[in-house]
Structure 1
């Protein structure tokens, strides 16, 4: 599959377009990572909440263990302080749930940023590059065999004004197998793809 043209001017433009497309996609990825980090930074309050819950849970656990050693009322005090431990657990769970939710939002935002940024470029640039590669490959294959098919393709694809510069009646000349005209028509089609003309000159 031929990706780039043989003529330097056309090949340079194709390379420039490829670099611009790659650069745009790279910028899109960088922007997506920036958005991802920005959204993840919103986890800090949730981390603070979870940390506070762990501190409260630890404080009430220690207090419950200490209270259990108090004579007569130790068990009752430990059970009462156990409610504080449960409150700490609730804060920890709430903080972790918020962090997980923010992480999901960050991931979804990243994917959406990449799709919205890169998809338009891919939808316009990639089909054009694939189409060119196919056309150039088939044209190069036809050039290696004969000029007639390329000449016919030029007649069906090139603008009339360009065809008339080759011959007053290019279709009739092609039917009469006028080799000089056929060669020029083939060269016209190849030139439109940035490829070199057939090597064999007309007789």
Structure 2
């Protein structure tokens, strides 16, 4: 396979297209990480719930521990304050659930923002590059076989290109006209940006 043309104009176009493809991927990675960070900012209420629930749980735990020391009603009072501890744990669980949803959403949104544009690029740009690499590579191997290159030119060059010949190039090729064969071979190579 031959990834790049030998001719400067086509090589430059290919290089620019490849750099744009890399830039496209880099752009979407940047967009995905930026959106990921923005979405993660939505976890602030969940963090607040976790902190508030932890504070409430700690306050009621401390109160229940101190209430146990009260004569006669200490255990009952500590049990009642234990319900406040459960409320704090409920708030903490709700906050953790919200944080988990926000983190999962941020992750999958970032994945989608990378995968879809890269998939689009792989479907559009990559087949063109692979097709060129295969064609140019196989054509470059035929440099020392001008008859085959001329035949390939007869079948692949546009009618306008073939019409530029003074006489019918197919007849000249069949008759073994070396000048026409060389011209056809060089035009076939030039069409793919490969040097003769």
TM-score band w.r.t. shorter chain: over 0.9
- Correspondence 1:88-107 to 2 at 5 A: 88-107=88-107
Aligned to 1:166: 165
Query: Tell me, which stretches of 5 or more residues in structure 1 are unaligned?
Result: 198-203
CA-CA distance at 1:180 after TM superposition: 1.4
SS in 1 for 2:115: helix
Root-mean-square deviation (Å): 1.2
Aligned to 1:71: 71
Q: 2-side partners of 1:60 and 1:138: how far apart?
A: 79
Aligned to 1:186: 185
1:21 aligns with 2:29: no
Aligned to 1:37: 37
CA-CA distance at 1:164 after TM superposition: 2.2
TM-score by length of 1: 0.92
- Correspondence 1:108-119 to 2 at 5 A: 108-119=108-119
- Larger RCO: 1 or 2 (CA < 8 Å, sep 6+): 2
CA-CA distance at 1:167 after TM superposition: 4.6
CA-CA distance at 1:59 after TM superposition: 0.6
CA-CA distance at 1:171 after TM superposition: 1.4
1:85 aligns with 2:75: no
1:123 aligns with 2:117: no
CA contact (8 A) 1:50 1:96 kept: yes
Number of residue pairs aligned between Structure 1 and Structure 2: 196
Superposed CA offset, 1:17-65 (max 9, x none): 1111111211111011110001011001100011100000111111110
Q: 2-side partners of 1:177 and 1:69: how far apart?
A: 114
